[in-house]
């Protein structure tokens, strides 16, 4: 609750303060560098495992630091590349609901083409659409699945291509720094395949909503 109050105060102060200063102008050829705290919240769903049709899987959320680099192609158009990695615990649904399956790390570099609606203003909203490539690594199997009767020794995840949508706003704090609020919806689909035992494989839609707040500057 205290964090939310401080964050709300910072946002209100930035908006009010921006009305009394010269804006941070973003012109063609400039770079905008941002660092955000993000929460990655998968909207996970799956069918049943090929070897256990009544058992599916889901994934929990995770928070991390994200870096993004935006190159302004024109005063209104920017290309943004985001870099972050998260770790998600995987649990079972269906007849084994709540049973731990394991964990996996996700690296989803995403490139979006943004339209900046008011590049000369102190409050600068933008919207973007782009492509995402997600790599899965560091997969681990829970002790529940590793033991009898499941005897799973490994879980592998297929990498994924997908679309990404984005909205956000930059709000000047002073002549050098600005506050950033950002939301992205990323299409991530994968196939999880178990090695050992008889559980088989399952297709999973992750499709996370990524909410971020951070600061940025212009070069």
Tell me the per-residue pLDDT of 77-86, one tens digit each, with 9 for 90 and over.
999 999 999 9
pLDDT at 175 over 90: no
Inter-residue long-range contacts of 65-69, CB under 8 Å, 24+ positions, other chains counted? 65/35, 65/36, 65/37, 65/38, 66/35, 66/36, 66/37, 66/38, 66/212, 66/214, 67/33, 67/34, 67/35, 67/36, 68/33, 68/34, 68/35, 68/36, 69/31, 69/32, 69/33
Residue 143 DSSP SS3: helix
Q: What's the pLDDT score for residue 22?
A: 57
pLDDT band at 11; cut points 50, 70, 90: very low
In angstroms, the CA 85 to CA 2 distance is 27
Domains and CATH numbers, the chain: 2-218 (2.40.160.20)
pLDDT of residue 9: 46
Q: How many helices (H) and strands (E) does the chain have?
A: 2, 15
Confidence at 17, pLDDT banded by 50, 70, 90? very low
What are residue 49's DSSP bridge partners? 52
């Amino acid at each position: 609750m205290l964090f939310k109050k401080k964050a709300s105060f910072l946002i209100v102060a930035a908006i009010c303060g921006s009305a009394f200063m010269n804006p941070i102008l973003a012109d063609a050829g400039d770079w905008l560098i941002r660092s955000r705290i993000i929460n990655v919240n998968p909207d996970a769903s799956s069918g049943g495992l090929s070897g256990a049709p009544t058992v599916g899987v889901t994934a929990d959320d995770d928070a991390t630091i994200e870096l993004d680099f935006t190159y302004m192609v024109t005063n209104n158009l920017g290309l943004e590349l985001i870099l972050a990695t998260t770790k998600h615990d995987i649990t079972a649904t269906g007849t084994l609901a709540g049973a731990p399956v394991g964990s996996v790390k996700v690296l989803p570099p995403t490139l979006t083409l943004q339209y900046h609606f008011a590049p000369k203003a102190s409050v600068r909203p933008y919207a973007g659409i782009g492509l995402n490539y997600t790599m899965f690594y560091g997969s681990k199997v829970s002790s529940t699945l590793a033991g009898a009767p499941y005897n799973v020794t490994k879980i592998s995840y297929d990498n994924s291509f997908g679309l990404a949508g984005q909205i956000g706003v930059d709000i000047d704090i002073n002549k050098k720094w600005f506050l950033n609020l950002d939301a992205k919806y990323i299409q991530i689909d994968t196939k999880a395949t178990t090695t050992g035992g008889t559980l088989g494989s399952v297709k999973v839609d992750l499709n996370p909503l990524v909410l971020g707040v951070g600061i940025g500057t212009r070069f």
